[in-house]
Homo-oligomer: A and B are copies of this chain.
Amino acid sequence: MQCCALEIEDVPTFTRGKKFQLDDVIEAQQFDRDTLSAIFEVAREMENIEKKSPGSQILKGYLMATLFYEPSTRTRLSFESAMKRLGGEVLTTENAREFSSAAKGETLEDTIRTVEGYTDIIVMRHFESGAAKRAAATAGIPIINAGDGPGQHPTQALLDVYTVEREIGKLDGIRVGLVGDLANGRTVRSLAYLLAKYQDVKIYFVSPDVVKMKDDIKDYLTSRGVEWEESADLMEVASKCDVVYQTRIQRERFGERIDLYEEARGKYIVDKDVLKVMQKHAVVMHPLPRLDEITVDVDADPRAAYFRQAKNGLYIRMALLKLLLVGW
């Protein structure tokens, strides 16, 4: 399992101007600061649109296919809701693996060329790293990567950065504590990567020894002039940060070593005590689902931003669908 977060660098997929046009959403790295800012502007409009009844008809007559080679109900629902909130229609496929099943053996490219005949945009989830890029190379219609293997889940990265901006009001000068499984979590890796596009950012890594942030991201941050430090003191970090970004320790990463898992898992919990030291304007984020790495009594605090963060996923996806299908 390899992460390719650093392959591409700041290659804007569109030129701003009269005709703002996004072609595909494949990797978090494809977005530069201007693109992010433009997407966030549209996402903000979407917040207003979503609140209105009977709902927008911006994408009326458009059809989106969710081509999921592995199930991900959460992600699929938020994309389908986004499309329908804009008046568009959806074709759902949760067992797209069937296309390439043993007996049949169709290539991804052939599947894409067939499915693109039935729809205007494809939202794809695949088990193989790079599948979305291959699909985009084949398709004449826009492709959105809804996760392809371990490396990429760009709409999650976008909604995370959008949430920081919405909650704190800025991205330049932000202080973020990344907590939990920093070795395996693609969310924290992508977030660190995208935050490096902003000025005067400081990042704190707080994680059990077995799941520390890898050197590639640290080196990258250094090369971009982003300050970072590792810390074993969650309380101190929490007191200094604008954002405490907690993540789940994933049991499946530990194999037989349940003992190591249990040790790692209990080490940094965001609870009422952490809230006490946090600043008034700061927030707690989490990509969800959570187990007990944030205690339930934190939920009622206005600084618990993780359900708002999940909701922001809807706005970001609405914005991307609009930009890909009808443009700026």
Contact status A53-B63, CB under 8 Å: no
Q: Once the chains are docked, how many angstroms separate the CA of A114 from the CA of B62?
A: 26
Q: Which of B61, B95, B288 contacts A54 (CB 8 A)?
A: B61
Q: Which of B55, B94, B117, B288 contacts A307 (CB 8 A)?
A: B117
Contact status B103-A250, CB under 8 Å: yes
CB distance from A167 to the nearest CB of B (A): 16
Q: Once the chains are docked, how many angstroms separate the CA of A55 from the CA of B89?
A: 11
A125 close to B (CB within 8 Å): no
Q: Which residues of B contact A65 (CB under 8 A)?
A: 77
Q: Which residues of B contact A104 (CB under 8 A)?
A: 289, 291
Q: Which residues of B contact A89 (CB under 8 A)?
A: 84
Q: Once the chains are docked, how many angstroms separate the CA of A61 from the CA of B98?
A: 31
Stretch at the interface among A105-113, A200-208, A216-224, A267-275: A105-113
Q: Once the chains are docked, how many angstroms separate the CA of A93 from the CA of B103?
A: 23
Q: How many chain A residues have a CB neighbour from B under 8 Å?
A: 49
Q: Which residues of B contact A80 (CB under 8 A)?
A: 91
Contact status B117-A310, CB under 8 Å: yes
A251 close to B (CB within 8 Å): yes
Q: Which residues of B contact A106 (CB under 8 A)?
A: 288-291
Contact status B311-A78, CB under 8 Å: no
CB distance from A309 to the nearest CB of B (A): 10
Mark A101-140 against chain B: 1 for CB-CB distance below 8 A, else 0: 0011110001101110111000000000000000000000
9 closest cross-chain pairs (CB), A and B: A54-B61, A55-B61, A106-B289, A81-B118, A117-B311, A54-B60, A84-B89, A114-B310, A104-B289
6 A–B contacts from the bound complex (CB under 8 Å): A53-B61, A73-B95, A74-B114, A94-B95, A117-B311, A118-B314
> Which residues of A are interface residues toward B (Cβ below 8 A)?
53-55, 60-63, 65, 71, 73-74, 77-78, 80-81, 84-85, 89, 91-96, 98-99, 103-106, 110-111, 113-115, 117-119, 250-252, 288-291, 307, 310-311, 314
